[in-house]
A and B are shown apart, each in its own frame.
Chain A
Amino acid sequence: MKKLSSLKGWLYLLPAILFLGFFMVYPLIDVVMYSFEEGYNFASQSHFGYGLYNFKYVLHDPYFLQAVKNTFIIVIITVPLSTGIALLISLGLNSIKPLKELYQTVYFLPYVTNTLAVGLVFMILFKKTAYSEGLVNLLLNSLGMSSVDFIDGPYWAKIFVMCFYTIWVVMPFKILILTSALAGVKKDYYNAARVDGTSKCRIFYKITLPMISPMIFYLVITGFIGAFKAYADEVAIFGTNLNAAGMNTIVGYVYDMLYGNSGGYPSYASAASLILFAIVFTITVINLLISKKNVQY
């Protein structure tokens, strides 16, 4: 009887195992192998031997290094900013009653939209063309500043648009999580603090913040992980050829190696993606250690 029920369990699990095995486990092993296979040739599916050549190549490739630089900048700017702004907005939402649901619904809209679609709109708004300065530039002009081509112009302008768009895209999720975290703080704590004459500032730092700190750390950790994987948002704004715009990301590099103009190098792609994984893993571990120390609750 036990054997039969055991079999049944495995039977129910079979579809999942098949899909996951084929499209997750096998690729994992495969990618690791690829990355160590030197001189892999896609056409002939042969390789020379095993070694670190692929990693060395990638780490010296200027395109890769540019991608790393871009990615890091985006991560460092967008994660703290988006979390901070989301916190402010959530605090604001938490303090009002009328129209709260309306605001929450509006704020969540970007989450369900296609980033490529919306990115295009951002591109149009920020781009300076022969026909028009673009809406954003007009705004700048009215404030007394000169026009900048944010899409084809200087590096800092492109980074600015990229960060702005990225923050715009990630905000819905963060606001949602933080508002529910804030709502979860029991009202009695605030009442107790009020009766004890606590100032609003102190209530925030000593009560609210510690009690939502687990969620904040969760958002920071997942924020970092997500930001390192940035790719689609960049394509949405700058188009498929990110290298031409100098805005490639690590993930973009991986796909370029695999498919792009210089593609057909799964071994380089694998090496690059493993390097990415290592970076993300390290940063996550660091974040977890910090959060263990600080999340007292």
Chain B
Amino acid sequence: MADLTYTELQRIEKRAKVSGTVGKTVTYFLLTLWGLIVLFPFYWMLLTSIKSYSSYNSEYVPKFIATHPTTQNYVDAFTTVNLGRYFFNTVVFTVLTTAVMMVVTVLAAFAFSRLKFRGKSITFAIFLSLMMIPNELVVITNYVTITNWNMRNTFQGLILPSVASVFYIYLLKENFEQIPEELYKAAKVDGTSDLKYLLKVMIPISKPTIITILILKVIECWNSYVWPRLVTDNEAYYLVSNGIQEIRENGFGRENIPAMMAAVVVISVPLVVLFLIFHKKIMEGVSRGGTKG
């Protein structure tokens, strides 16, 4: 190694520099390529939604710009089909399911992490094993149950089975456990009730995780398809996902593609906006949740 001549040294240095630049260019190229593949459908979605019906159908070769942009499609989307109703249903469903889920999860996580009661470990082990049950299995019975309780085409029918989730309880419990137990003992000594401690101390400290769980659940609810599809056949109770399917197959979906795209844009916008604002938090949360799983 000590015997490299000066020219050899120079050659090594030069090669290192060149391969560095070439490597970087190729990397950026490939990364940009995937970025375009990801973004293109969204671009197309937006683009098509502002093309008028006639101009869209007249394009044998699809154009990449809209020559006569129009908002007519958005009007159609809301008037010819019940998009507004689907939207409303989805918001109600998401808000209520998430709210109930939060209460259930927080209470359960608190119980497992701080409260002492007999059979705690066994119960937790059972809870964990429930995580293995695939959703596709339980859906079958839940469908029958909800039908028998006459909750088809109701909000209760939509919400109740969607609340249960072991994963979030597990995640929050782990987070609660990281808060030093001394805080709890100190609060007890001061005569604080468990509920108060939970509300005033644990929840504020766990805010990041709670926000993560909140966001994940909201995304899950908003994009939920299978369960709504199963239990609702009354259009008035459709959510955006099965609503879209309905429009596609029985509404104007067959012929009026631009209007279809307008509907699609409308239902995608809320979550995309949420994502753009909170993207850092969302990505951190999913990453943490993913690695814990």
Please list the residues of chain A having a beta carbon within 8 angstroms of any beta carbon in chain B.
5-10, 12-13, 15-16, 19-20, 22-28, 30-31, 34, 85, 88-89, 92-93, 95-96, 103-118, 120-122, 124-125, 131-135, 138, 168, 171, 173, 176-177, 180, 215, 218, 222, 229, 231-232, 235, 239-240, 251, 254-255, 258-259, 266, 269-270, 273-274, 276-277, 280
Contact = CB atoms under 8 A, between A and B. Distances in A.
Interface string B46-60: 001000000001111
Given A112-B274, A176-B286, A240-B245, 9 more contacts: A19-B104, A23-B163, A27-B141, A28-B138, A112-B282, A116-B245, A138-B61, A138-B62, A258-B230
A34 B137 CA distance: 11
B6 interface: no
B133 A28 contact: yes
B140 A180 contact: no
* Chain B interface category by residue count: 35 or more
A172 B265 CA distance: 20
A250 B279 CA distance: 34
A30 B219 CA distance: 29
Contacts of B24: 95-96
Query: What is the interface of chain B mostly: helix, strand, loop, or mixed?
Result: helix
Contacts of B293: 222
Interface of B: 23-24, 27-28, 30-31, 34-35, 37-39, 41-42, 44-45, 48, 57-62, 103-105, 107-108, 110-112, 115-118, 120, 123, 127, 130, 133-145, 160-161, 163-164, 166, 169, 194, 219, 222-223, 225-226, 229-230, 240-242, 244-245, 248-249, 257, 260-261, 264, 267-268, 271-272, 274-275, 279, 282-283, 286-287, 290-291, 293
A180 B291 contact: yes
Contact of B230 (A109, A177, A259): A259
B104 A274 contact: no
Contacts of A280: 134
Nearest to A164: B37
A94 B147 CA distance: 51
B279 A31 contact: no
A34 B143 CA distance: 13
Given A120-B264, A258-B230, A28 B163 contact: no
Contact of B136 (A114, A239, A273): A273
A168 B37 contact: yes
B108 A276 contact: no
B164 A115 contact: no
B26 to A, nearest CB: 9
A218 B286 CA distance: 15
Contacts of A171: 38
B115 A8 contact: yes
Contacts of B268: 113-114, 117-118
B142 to A, nearest CB: 6
16 contacts: A12-B110, A13-B112, A16-B104, A28-B137, A30-B144, A31-B137, A31-B140, A31-B141, A92-B30, A96-B31, A106-B35, A111-B286, A116-B244, A120-B264, A124-B48, A240-B245
A266 B140 CA distance: 7
Nearest to A284: B132
B130 A110 contact: no
